[in-house]
Chain A
Amino acid sequence: MPLLWLFVIVLALGALGFVLGRQRAIASAGGDARQLHSLPNYYGSNVAILTVVPALMVLAVWLILQPMVIQARVTSLIPEAAIEQIGSRSLVMSDVRRVAEGLDTAVAAGALSEAETRGLSTDETDVRARLGEVGVALGGAVTPEVLAAALRYRALDHTADTLRSGLVIVLAALGLAYGYLRTRQEFRARNSVERAILALLMLASTLAILTTVGIVFSMLFETFNFFELYPWREFFFGLEWRPSFEGGSDLGLIPLLWGTLYISIIALLVSVPIGLFAAIYMAEYAGKRFRAVAKPLIEVLAGIPTIVYGLFALITVGPLLRDYFAQPLGLGTSSSSVMTAGVVMGIMLIPFVSSLSDDIINAVPQSLRDGSYGLGATQSETVRQVILPAALPGIVGAILLAASRAIGETMIVVLGAGAAAALSLNPFEAMTTVTVKIVGQLTGDTNFESPEALVAFALGLTLFVITLGLNVLALYIVRKYREQYE
């Protein structure tokens, strides 16, 4: 039975449970809903939850486990020789799966009958050609081993599907019956629905946390692999970045880290003063009408994809800086430079800094402004001596958040600063950052057993740790700031 149908059936049972539960509850109170412990809908929801949730949970687990189990049982059918021939076990298995799915498609399209399919053999039929007719393209001719495995795979899959549908429907029915029988006048349906909702919310937050943990672990794993192939000292303290896929590369972090920090610092030097002053103007001086226009405009700026900023760097800012600054000053002839990327990234961050700071400044209580004006302070004295000090921790938090965005930025760097790692102080020289190199090491033909590819994970983890540190610090500061005003 297709998955969608199974799903619909379970939901339909749930709806039925709702109606039945509700009716039974009302009937048990002699038709007077006021005699019930909870509102009638709670009884209905309770039955519906008992019907749907366990069934769907089992379905989800089953869906995850089924391919694993079947795969484990099918692999044994393929001899080692065939695996060596094709390359790796996973490649063979993906062939098997494709053939099995192809056969399913063929049956569904009517090109093959179910009986024909079972009796297929590579001696009599060109399986690849037959499947090609129904639009399933295969990479190479189908070997007898693969076909046998595919047939087995199909058979197991069909049995499992049937079992699955049966189990899920039975579970839903049992849940319905259980819920229905429990529905009585004094049953506390409201509380049990409350618990179900709590469980749902907890499940969602657990999933969010688990995915984060999963991401970190997968990176950790690959990073370990990397450090087995490449000494960690040379990675963390190496001053050269010269990967070569023939081996013997230098994979030093320092030049990339330097590029990242240099560009981020320039970006912050551009974005923080402009963003902050804009925020002060918006929050303290601008009239209502100006703010109503300007604030959304600035926020639109925040929605521009970074690749567009990258183009701006490449086409406009880069040549401009080269022609008017770098060349006259004799500092270089490259239009890709730290300065280009930094300035454009700064422009990208202005709305980010200004809208965060604007919120923070607005959160400074009006009573402080009144207090300052009441003592005869001017507006700018009030801003400098009362509002900014009061908002400072929050603003620092905003700046740290901006910094962690700058560190993670990739597109603007590729287009603005280039992709050549360098360790130099000259802001008009091309340089590159950690993120760009992560992309660089993983695109194209990569062999995931070489340190040149695996280094990307070590870089990623380093970046993750740095931005995580910045974010934690920022959140800590922002929280302290909130506490100050209750």
Chain B
Amino acid sequence: MNDMRMTERGVDSKNIKMKARKVQVFYGTNHAIKDVDVDIEDKTVTAFIGPSGCGKSTFLRCLNRMNDTIDICRVEGEITLDGEDIYDRKVDPVQLRAKVGMVFQKPNPFPKSIYDNVAYGPRIHGLARGKAELDEIVEKSLRRAAIWNEVKDRLDAPGTGLSGGQQQRLCIARAIATGPEVLLMDEPCSALDPIATAQVEELIDELRERFSVVIVTHSMQQAARVSQKTAFFHLGNLVEYGETSKIFTNPDDPRTESYITGRIG
């Protein structure tokens, strides 16, 4: 089955959605990301793997300028979305984040109702013209996040009252509702149990039909299961980037091989 997916992959992975060139990130004097070049393809799941502290989250947060909220963080180099530099002065980071959505490690539903959680983004960006349209967006997002059936009878209940796995899918629905083109996920399953993890992984595979997904994971099995492209980071460097099948079966770099076989962690 894995093989079938790999053959499909070649077909729809030509279109480059985001491109990073010579990206450097500094936290004060700490050089956290060094010279990273990556092409994120459209309608593809790209996995970032690597040992803890190697800069995966940092790099992911560059892609929607979430690092702007950290005072001491400085980003250099060029990152484009559809050919447009996202660090250009013209670009409003707030608008950018509506297009490049993000799901975090720990589920973080707002202390509002399930409905209001999902409607949050559409309301801020004025995506719906009326109540009916907003209802539709909420339902569609919850359906795509595979949680509609579980919550449709209690949309007014607080989002914080759901189980961990449900909360994380609610957060995914919330991110989908703003209609992003790229979805960034930072270890979205690390706080979930195996069943919830399986549900979210299945969901990620479906999300690929509509947009590109970038997922940080510390589980190599997960990277192998859900992604088509894999980037291996080590000590702030991008060591190797390519087809997931190749990275996991026949990596070029000895460091990648050591990590995958469990010798560096």
Q: Which residues of A contact B (CB under 8 A)?
A: 287-288, 365, 367-378, 381, 385-386, 389-390, 484
Q: With A376-B94, A385-B120 as given contacts, are A287 and B111 in contact (CB-CB < 8 Å)?
A: no
Contact A373 B108 (CB under 8 A): no
Segment among B78-86, B98-106, B206-214 that sits at the interface with chain A: B98-106
Nearest Cβ on chain A to B78's Cβ, whole angstroms: 22
Q: With A374-B175, A375-B98, A375-B120 as given contacts, are A390 and B111 in contact (CB-CB < 8 Å)?
A: yes
CB of B66 closer than 8 Å to a CB of A? yes
CB of B33 closer than 8 Å to a CB of A? no
Give the distance in Å from the alpha carbon of A484 to the alpha carbon of B159 in the complex: 12
Known A-B contacts: A375-B124, A381-B124. Give 12 more (CB < 8 A).
A365-B108, A368-B111, A369-B69, A371-B109, A373-B97, A375-B102, A375-B121, A376-B98, A376-B125, A378-B94, A389-B112, A484-B160
Provide the residues of chain B in CB contact with A385, threshold 8 Å.
Answer: 110, 120, 124
Contact A370 B175 (CB under 8 A): no
Provide the residues of chain A in CB contact with B99, threshold 8 Å.
Answer: 376
Give the distance in Å from the alpha carbon of A419 to the alpha carbon of B104 in the complex: 60
Nearest Cβ on chain A to B64's Cβ, whole angstroms: 7
Contact A288 B71 (CB under 8 A): yes
Contact A375 B174 (CB under 8 A): yes
Contact B104 A375 (CB under 8 A): no
Residue of B nearest to A373 (CB): B69
Given A365, A367, A375, which contacts B175 in the complex, CB threshold below 8 Å?
Answer: A375
Provide the residues of chain B in CB contact with A373, threshold 8 Å.
Answer: 66, 69, 97
Q: With A288-B71, A370-B66, A381-B124 as given contacts, are A375 and B97 in contact (CB-CB < 8 Å)?
A: yes
Give me 6 A-to-B residue pairs in the complex whose CB atoms sit less than 8 angstroms apart, sorted by A's number: A287-B71, A370-B69, A370-B108, A374-B103, A375-B101, A375-B120
Given B71, B160, B178, which contacts A375 in the complex, CB threshold below 8 Å?
Answer: B178
Nearest Cβ on chain A to B68's Cβ, whole angstroms: 9
Most chain A CB within a 10 A radius of its CB, from B71, B94, B103, B125 = B94
Give the distance in Å from the alpha carbon of A484 to the alpha carbon of B110 in the complex: 11
Give the distance in Å from the alpha carbon of A395 to the alpha carbon of B104 in the complex: 27
Given B97, B108, B160, which contacts A376 in the complex, CB threshold below 8 Å?
Answer: B97
Given A288, A370, A390, A484, which contacts B104 in the complex, CB threshold below 8 Å?
Answer: A370
Provide the residues of chain B in CB contact with A369, threshold 8 Å.
Answer: 69
CB of B96 closer than 8 Å to a CB of A? yes
Contact A372 B110 (CB under 8 A): yes
Nearest Cβ on chain B to A64's Cβ, whole angstroms: 53
User: Count of A-B contacts with CB under 8 A?
Assistant: 71
Contact A389 B97 (CB under 8 A): no
Give the distance in Å from the alpha carbon of A376 to the alpha carbon of B101 in the complex: 8
Contact B110 A371 (CB under 8 A): yes
Contact B124 A374 (CB under 8 A): no
Provide the residues of chain B in CB contact with A374, threshold 8 Å.
Answer: 64, 66, 97, 101-104, 175
Give the distance in Å from the alpha carbon of A368 to the alpha carbon of B167 in the complex: 13
Give the distance in Å from the alpha carbon of A377 to the alpha carbon of B106 in the complex: 19
Give the distance in Å from the alpha carbon of A373 to the alpha carbon of B61 in the complex: 12
Provide the residues of chain B in CB contact with A368, threshold 8 Å.
Answer: 108, 110-111
Provide the residues of chain A in CB contact with B66, threshold 8 Å.
Answer: 370, 373-374
Give the distance in Å from the alpha carbon of A373 to the alpha carbon of B94 in the complex: 7
Interface residues of B in 131-178 (CB under 8 A from A): 160, 171, 174-175, 178
Given A287, A288, A378, A386, which contacts B110 in the complex, CB threshold below 8 Å?
Answer: A386
Provide the residues of chain B in CB contact with A375, threshold 8 Å.
Answer: 97-98, 101-102, 120-121, 124, 174-175, 178
Residue of B nearest to A288 (CB): B71
CB of B95 closer than 8 Å to a CB of A? yes
Given A287, A376, A377, which contacts B96 in the complex, CB threshold below 8 Å?
Answer: A376
Give the distance in Å from the alpha carbon of A373 to the alpha carbon of B112 in the complex: 16
Contact B110 A377 (CB under 8 A): no
Nearest Cβ on chain A to B141's Cβ, whole angstroms: 12
Residue of B nearest to A392 (CB): B111
Give the distance in Å from the alpha carbon of A368 to the alpha carbon of B174 in the complex: 13
Nearest Cβ on chain A to B138's Cβ, whole angstroms: 14
Provide the residues of chain B in CB contact with A365, threshold 8 Å.
Answer: 108
Provide the residues of chain A in CB contact with B124, threshold 8 Å.
Answer: 375-377, 381, 385
Give the distance in Å from the alpha carbon of A28 to the alpha carbon of B221 in the complex: 62
Residue of B nearest to A371 (CB): B108
Contact B104 A376 (CB under 8 A): no
Contact A367 B94 (CB under 8 A): no
Give the distance in Å from the alpha carbon of A30 to the alpha carbon of B66 in the complex: 67
Provide the residues of chain A in CB contact with B109, threshold 8 Å.
Answer: 371
Contact A484 B111 (CB under 8 A): yes
Nearest 4 interchain pairs by C-beta:
A376-B98, A374-B102, A367-B108, A376-B97
Interface residues of B in 172-205 (CB under 8 A from A): 174-175, 178
Nearest Cβ on chain B to A366's Cβ, whole angstroms: 9
Nearest Cβ on chain B to A371's Cβ, whole angstroms: 4
Give the distance in Å from the alpha carbon of A368 to the alpha carbon of B111 in the complex: 9
Give the distance in Å from the alpha carbon of A484 to the alpha carbon of B96 in the complex: 31
Provide the residues of chain A in CB contact with B175, threshold 8 Å.
Answer: 374-375
Contact A367 B98 (CB under 8 A): no
Give the distance in Å from the alpha carbon of A314 to the alpha carbon of B69 in the complex: 47
Nearest Cβ on chain A to B153's Cβ, whole angstroms: 23
Contact B121 A376 (CB under 8 A): yes
Nearest Cβ on chain A to B80's Cβ, whole angstroms: 19
Contact A371 B178 (CB under 8 A): no
Provide the residues of chain A in CB contact with B97, threshold 8 Å.
Answer: 373-376
Most chain B CB within a 10 A radius of its CB, from A371, A378, A390 = A371
Residue of A nearest to B69 (CB): A373
Give the distance in Å from the alpha carbon of A368 to the alpha carbon of B69 in the complex: 13
Most chain A CB within a 10 A radius of its CB, from B69, B108, B171 = B108
Residue of B nearest to A382 (CB): B124
Residue of A nearest to B110 (CB): A386
